[in-house]
Chain A
Amino acid sequence: MISEALAVAWKDFRLELRTRERLSSMIIFSIMVMLSFRFAFSFFGVHAEDPVLSASLVPPMLWIAFFFAGMLGLAPVFAKETDTGTLNGLLLAPTDRFAIYLGKFMTSLFFIFLVSLASIVFFAIFFNYDYAGQWIGIAGVTLLGTAAYASIGVTVSALASTAKTRDVLLPLLLITVTLFTVVVPSINATSSILMNDYETALTNIRYVAAFILISFVLSYFLFDEVLED
């Protein structure tokens, strides 16, 4: 199962490198969001040193950007395969359908995390903000949070991919399932880290980690149903 999953991941990765569609739209989107924030929250630029203010404002801004850029990354995961008919090629494979999920999860996580990291950097540049020196902590929480997002996002994207209204449906489904389970704890964890409150951060991190586990288990049992005809 793992080698098939890796094959799927490698194929998607190769495709993305060649066409760069997904990646470029995600990066451009993230820059636009950060720029918008820069102007909308221009007062913050002056007060960036205030630890309480930044701990309250920065995590939500970041995670709004991650959420929507991530959605751009999740939308084509199955939409493209469905449209070009290559989904059948995957379905003909003599392996557990979960391998397809794993492969898609790996590439999605890779790209979403990459763009999130880039967003973190853009934010730092635009706001001249240094995250109270907590680069590693922030990156760690982002990795976990984007993993949680991708873990259920791949399944939800598969659900929405056959619908005619998939452009509207995907955001709706994603928000319902991830907003309070992934985004809020991630924001809280990021916030806590910026305030050096590692205990609260850990509670939230454990919660997100549990979410990843639950997502995987759910997807393991349900993914077959989502893809079959």
Chain B
Amino acid sequence: MLDVKGLTKKYGGKSILRGIDLKVPPGQICILLGPNGAGKSTLIRILCTLTRASGGEVIIDGHSVAEEPAKARRMIGAVLHETLLYEDLTAAENLRFYSRLFGVSAGEKDIDEMLTRVNLLHRRNDRVGDFSRGMKQRMAIARAMVSGPKLMLLDEPFTGLDIKSKEQVSGLISGAATTGAAILMTAHDPEMAHDLAHRLLVLVDGKLAFDREKTSVSKVDFVAEYRRLAGASR
């Protein structure tokens, strides 16, 4: 589903990503960890087609991002640092807009269904600006899933959430994976990552220092290894 080969990114003279290779098949949850400034957000932005890579290839469902960006975007559902929601519009209006923007014809029933999935149907006609942080995040996920994406990219979706919201979001992510979406997300917390992921990756100094199936490493070991890798970076 997602195939990254030799991805590099430079800002001015500075190398942020120094050759990333990774594959995410459908239905797999890959969680990428790394210290601040390691380049996780940059990587997500490049995969979303929001930023151009300096070198390498990104192929989504057979479509090269460099050559067919529009086709690639059709497959992607992204949850970023910004919620991408219009605060002055209602939940339903936001979803209606994004459906149309993604070329998905969604009737009122479809919108209700999307809202039910993220447990926000009762706030359907309320301004998104009035939502709590957890609700906005669930709304952002609903927005990302509007087009039934085959690849979901999430950039630290648990930031600022309380435990209950984190659980709800985890549930949504797992749910998306069981319906066949490939999922790549970045995170900060190695313990929670180990719980949720099928595969774990660690990005340090622009390279992947760790890439293994969850089942091949215990949680304790992984946490220790992550601390070691993150601590060793500049």
Contact = CB atoms under 8 A, between A and B. Distances in A.
Interface of A: 3-4, 6-8, 10-11, 14-15, 18-19, 84-86, 88-96, 228-229
Interface string B78-100: 10111111111100010001101
Given A8-B101, A92-B76, A85 B45 contact: no
A7 B103 CA distance: 10
Contact of A94 (B45, B50, B71, B84): B71
Contacts of B102: 93-94
The 3 tightest CB contacts between A and B, nearest first, are: A85-B82, A7-B100, A89-B84
A28 B147 CA distance: 41
A90 B49 CA distance: 12
A229 B45 CA distance: 10
Contact of A85 (B49, B51, B52, B83): B83
A15 B88 contact: yes
A90 B98 CA distance: 9
A84 B82 contact: yes
Contact of B97 (A10, A91, A228, A229): A10
Contacts of A229: 45, 50-52
A89 B171 CA distance: 24
Contacts of A10: 97, 100
A3 B49 CA distance: 22
Contact of B89 (A3, A14, A88, A92): A14
B214 interface: no
A4 B101 contact: yes
Contacts of A7: 97, 100-101
Contacts of A86: 82, 84-86
Nearest to B73: A94
B48 interface: yes
A93 B101 contact: yes
Given A3-B100, A3-B103, A93-B102, A88 B82 contact: yes
Given A4-B100, A11-B97, A88-B84, A228 B52 contact: yes
B137 to A, nearest CB: 14
B70 A96 contact: yes
A15 B97 CA distance: 11
Contacts of B98: 89
B124 interface: no
A3 B105 CA distance: 10
User: Which size bracket describes the interface of B in this complex?
Assistant: 20 to 34
A36 to B, nearest CB: 32
A19 B88 contact: yes
B74 interface: yes
A3 B52 CA distance: 27
Given A11-B97, A85-B80, 16 more contacts: A7-B101, A10-B97, A11-B93, A14-B93, A15-B89, A84-B87, A86-B85, A88-B82, A89-B98, A89-B143, A91-B49, A92-B50, A94-B74, A95-B70, A95-B101, A229-B50
A64 B71 CA distance: 45
Nearest to A99: B101
A228 B51 CA distance: 7
A10 B89 CA distance: 12
B40 to A, nearest CB: 16
Listed residue (A6, A96, A229) with the most chain B CB atoms within 10 angstroms of its CB: A229
A90 B50 CA distance: 10
A92 B49 contact: yes
B50 A88 contact: yes
8 contacts: A8-B101, A10-B97, A18-B89, A85-B80, A85-B83, A89-B85, A92-B50, A94-B147
Contacts of B83: 85
Contacts of A19: 88
A63 B46 CA distance: 45
A93 B73 contact: yes
B86 to A, nearest CB: 6
B50 A91 contact: yes
A3 B97 CA distance: 11
A86 B51 CA distance: 15
A37 B87 CA distance: 39
Contacts of A88: 50, 80, 82, 84
A228 to B, nearest CB: 7
